[in-house]
């Protein structure tokens, strides 16, 4: 995902927005409940470009298109960056690789403009002339892949909908995430090619599978008691690998059950826990401080940050070695800082109940909640 690829993909629409580093959304109107947030909230680097920002969890980096001339059969052009020129109407692909830097720092700059064309039939030439915010902060190196295979299901829908069956699984509905752990605590993955059939195949030896936040897949033999039914409309995000299927949403699982499974189920791993002490770089130790909320008008920790599908408490501690605090959020986000933004307060530890993306046995905050650690003095 890059700003350029999203702009091309949404060339026929008035707006495009990037979210969570790898997601692209198009539209001609903005929902009335979507409100302006501080620009610093959009702090996640684009998965396909380490020098661009692509929103954050529940935050969109939003761009609008302004018409410039009229022609009924003219190609729509978008102006956004100094180096990208492409012509495609397919959804952009995303990279899961990240690169390292030894000194956490960030900056913002203005990118010069050049035309990137997307072939369409419809409105006249359009141009996007935003200032692209960039960052020199790049996260630790990792490459994530899911060992999955294509399911043999014969379901081939032609319109978007909630599929009632993905053989041998049957749709239970839309469910909330659990409060103090994952709703499903078996194997999981996050992959830009995620679909219901891919997740069903990956979880074939388990009783349940659930898709969440478009690209995530979870398996399990039991469902946590604090995971509850939600309106089906809450599961409104399409699968990252199949735009005709729904794959949950933020803290919402599109949940399926295999009623035929019996005693051959694989055992579920133990629930994750909050480590009291974490080892960082050069033998440094970090002690758990508390579960904290995000700040009111900024991030709770405003130093360096990154997001990674291999996130662990240890990798975040190493990344934040130059800072006094680190916090993990939403399972895969890492933030550093020497103090806390206004409005960030201590909350119930049970609210930091999401397992780390790179280690299901560790807890890495939750949506809007950080598992915060403080550097301990030597000796």
**What is the extent of the structural domain holding 60?**
3-127
Residues 33 and 120 in one domain: yes
Pull the structure tokens for residue 348. 């119930």
pLDDT of residue 322: 92
Cα(220)–Cα(215) distance, integer angstroms: 17
Residues 176 and 115 in one domain: no
Range 55-94 burial, b when 16+ CB lie within 10 A, else e: bbbebbbbbebeeeeeeeeeebbbbbbeebeeeeeebbeb
Residues 205 and 94 in one domain: no
In a domain, 250, yes or no: yes
Pull the structure tokens for residue 224. 């946590």
Start-to-end CA span in the chain (Å) = 45
Phi–psi pair at 106, nearest 5 degrees? -150, 160
Residues 36 and 104 in one domain: yes
Question: Tokens 């008691």 identify what position?
Answer: 225
Whole-prediction pTM: 0.39
In a domain, 218, yes or no: yes
- Residues facing residue 127 across a β-bridge: 66
Cα(116)–Cα(4) distance, integer angstroms: 8
Residues 29 and 123 in one domain: yes
In a domain, 49, yes or no: yes
pLDDT of residue 46: 78
154, with CB counted inside 10 A (0-12, 13-18, 19+), is exposed
Residues 212 and 121 in one domain: no
Residues 106 and 10 in one domain: yes
Residues 252 and 353 in one domain: no
Residues 238 and 324 in one domain: no
pLDDT digits (tens), the chain, 379 positions? 789 888 888 888 899 998 877 778 888 988 877 888 888 888 777 777 777 888 877 788 999 976 444 333 333 333 443 333 333 334 443 333 333 333 333 333 333 332 333 333 333 333 344 444 443 333 333 333 333 333 334 445 678 999 999 999 999 999 999 886 789 988 888 888 999 999 999 999 999 999 999 999 999 999 988 899 999 999 999 999 999 999 999 989 999 999 886 533 344 445 577 889 999 888 889 999 999 999 988 899 999 999 988 999 999 999 999 999 999 998 889 999 999 999 999 999 888 888 888 888 889 998 889 999 999 876 5
In a domain, 146, yes or no: no
pLDDT of residue 259: 83
In a domain, 15, yes or no: yes
Residues 8 and 122 in one domain: yes
In a domain, 367, yes or no: yes
Q: Pairing mode, if any, of strands 333-337 and 325-329?
A: antiparallel
Question: Tokens 């690789």 identify what position?
Answer: 97
Cα(341)–Cα(368) distance, integer angstroms: 13
214, with CB counted inside 10 A (0-12, 13-18, 19+), is buried
Number of compact structural domains in the chain: 3
pLDDT of residue 61: 92
In a domain, 305, yes or no: yes
Residues 111 and 18 in one domain: yes
Q: Left (φ > 0), alpha (ψ -120 to 50) or beta: where does 198 sit?
A: alpha
Cα(173)–Cα(71) distance, integer angstroms: 46
Question: Which of 78, 101, 127 corresponds to the end of one domain?
Answer: 127
Helices (H), the chain: 3-9, 196-202, 313-319
Question: Which of 227, 257, 287 corresponds to the end of one domain?
Answer: 257
DSSP 316: H
Phi–psi pair at 225, nearest 5 degrees? -65, -20
Pull the structure tokens for residue 192. 């830009």
In a domain, 155, yes or no: no
Residues 109 and 31 in one domain: yes
């Amino acid at each position: 995902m890059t700003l350029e690829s999203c702009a091309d993909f949404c060339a026929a629409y008035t707006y495009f927005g990037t979210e969570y580093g790898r997601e692209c959304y198009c539209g001609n109107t903005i929902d009335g409940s979507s409100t302006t947030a501080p620009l610093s909230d959009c702090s996640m680097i684009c998965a396909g470009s380490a020098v661009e920002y692509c929103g954050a969890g529940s935050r969109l980096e939003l761009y609008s298109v302004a018409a410039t001339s009229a022609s009924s059969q003219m190609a729509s052009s978008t102006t956004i960056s100094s180096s990208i020129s492409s012509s495609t109407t397919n959804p952009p692909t995303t990279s899961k690789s990240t690169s390292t830097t030894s000194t956490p720092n960030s900056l913002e700059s203005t990118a010069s403009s050049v035309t990137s064309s997307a072939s369409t039939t419809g409105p006249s030439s359009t141009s996007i002339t935003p200032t692209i915010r960039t960052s020199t902060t790049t996260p630790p190196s990792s490459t994530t892949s899911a060992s999955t295979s294509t399911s043999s299901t014969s379901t081939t829908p032609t319109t978007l909908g909630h599929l009632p069956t993905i053989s041998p699984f049957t749709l239970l509905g839309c469910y909330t995430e659990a409060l103090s752990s994952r709703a499903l605590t078996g194997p999981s993955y996050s992959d830009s090619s995620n679909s219901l059939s891919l997740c069903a195949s990956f979880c074939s030896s388990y009783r349940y599978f659930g898709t969440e936040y478009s690209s995530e897949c979870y398996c399990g033999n039991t469902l946590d008691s604090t995971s509850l039914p939600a309106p089906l409309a809450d599961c409104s995000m399409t699968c990252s690998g199949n735009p005709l299927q729904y794959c949950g949403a933020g803290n919402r699982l599109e949940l399926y059950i295999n009623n035929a499974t019996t005693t051959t189920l694989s055992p579920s791993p133990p629930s994750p826990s909050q480590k009291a002490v974490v080892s960082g770089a050069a033998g440094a130790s970090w002690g758990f401080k508390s579960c904290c909320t995000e700040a009111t008008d900024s991030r709770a920790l405003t130093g360096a940050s990154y997001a990674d599908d291999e996130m662990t408490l240890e990798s975040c501690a190493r990344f934040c070695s130059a800072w006094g605090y680190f916090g993990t959020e939403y399972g895969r986000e890492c933030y550093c800082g020497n103090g806390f933004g206004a409005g960030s307060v201590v909350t119930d530890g049970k609210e930091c109940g999401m397992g780390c993306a790179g280690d299901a046995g560790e807890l890495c905050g939750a949506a809007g909640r950080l598992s915060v650690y403080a550097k301990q003095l030597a000796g």
